[in-house]
Amino acid sequence: MRSATPPLPPLGEATDHLPPRVDPIYASHVVLRLSDRRVYLYDGDQLWVSYPVAVGREGWATPTGNFMVQRKQADPTWRHPFTGALVPPGPDNPLGRHWVGFWSDGNNVIGFHGTPQEELIGQAVSHGCVRMRNADVAEFFERVQVGTPVVVEP
């Protein structure tokens, strides 16, 4: 018995039928405005996206100036700044799942990271770091590269 449907022609290479691969767009620079409690990502001179943040509290102010992304790390381990105790990656880690470091004095480091206390976003509560909602910092992490300029304004 013969099939009523004729055989299909070969499809060829999958790439013949897919749109061209688009390289991800990375921020050309980052501006953190402490007074706004927001971080802004730019593509050239065009604002691309911004996120609300929590910043350093009195006595532990987030440093202002011109910096650059020095390090990115997924699932970081956190070292308690006073006791030196290590907190491994996981739900109890105060850094969340992403770390984007932009400042260091050789002993201390400051960066953007997630937080298990998202209700504190918008306040000055950290030891200098920039806390972000976990979903926001995951997206931020993907949009910046090591070497991306970071300008921190008062």
Strands, E assignment, the chain: 29-33, 38-43, 46-56, 65-68, 71-74, 78-79, 86-87, 98-104, 109-113, 124-126, 130-132, 149-153
- Whether 29 is catalytic is no
- C-alpha distance from residue 140 to each of 59, 60, 106, 129, 153 (Å): 27, 23, 25, 15, 19
- Identify the active-site residue in 17, 98, 113, 127: 113
- Whether 98 is catalytic is no
Q: Which helix (H) or strand (E) holds 76?
A: none
Just list the catalytic residues: 113, 129
